[in-house]
Amino acid sequence: MVLALERKINIFDKRLKRREWHLGQAKPIFRLKGQTHGIFGFGNMGRAVAKKAQAFGFNVIATDPFVSLMEARKFGVELVDFNRLLEISDATSIHAPLLKATYHVFNEEAISKMKDTAYLVNVARGGLVHQKALYNAVKCKKIAGAALDVMEREPPELDEALLTLDNVIITPHAVYYSQTSHIEVRKRALEEVVRVLKGGQPKNWINCKGMSEKR
C-alpha cells in the first residue's frame, strides 16, 4: 500500500483507463530511498513491516509505549514519541490494537501534524483513524493520501466520502489474505482446540486473567 501510494499507482491506473496518458497528472513523486517510514505499534507486524521498508531504503522510526529503545535498536529502528512520528514521517503505517487509548488516535489534531506530502496507511483496526478527519485532510491536501484496509464500518456505506477520493486506496480487510494464510489461520485454531482438550493451556488467550481467577 505504501509503494502504491508513493508511486501513485492507483492514480495512474484510474486515469489511464480513462485514456489519460500523462506523467504530470500525478506529480510530485519522490524517491523512496532516504524517506522516513513511521510505524505506529512496533509488535510482530510492525517489525515485519520495518524489515520490508528498510529493504526499499526507508529510514524507519516507530512509536510504541511497550517497547524499549534497546529493543527497537535490535531492528535498526529509532524509537520516537507520537508527535515526532507524525512530524517527520513520509509514510506512516498503523499496526496497533484498538483500545480505549488508541480509539481515534489519528484524529484531526494528530493528522494536522503530518507533512503535506505524507501518507497514512491503516492495516490494523478502523477505529484508530477518525475517518471524517482523514477525508478532510486528504481533500484539502493537508496530507498527500491514504490507504485503508480497515474501516470503522465494514463494508462502508455507499455514500462514504473517502470512496470518492482518487488518492485514497481502500481494500476490503484483505491484506492479511493469501491461500497460505487462509490455511494457517484454521490450522492454528484447531491446534489450540487439541491442546486444550489434551489438558494444556492455549497459546493465544483472550480472557486469561478472568479464567485464572475462575479456576
Q: Which residues are catalytic?
A: 125, 154, 173
| Contacts of 161 by beta carbon, 8 Å cutoff, 6+ apart | 131, 132, 135, 139
* Cα–Cα dist 46/50, whole Å: 6
CA distance 92 to 105: 13
Q: How many other C-beta atoms are found inside a 10 Å radius of the C-beta of residue 10?
A: 19
Stated as kind and residue range, the H or E segment containing 83 is helix 82-88
In terms of Cβ atoms closer than 10 Å to its own Cβ (0-12, 13-18, 19+), residue 178 is: exposed
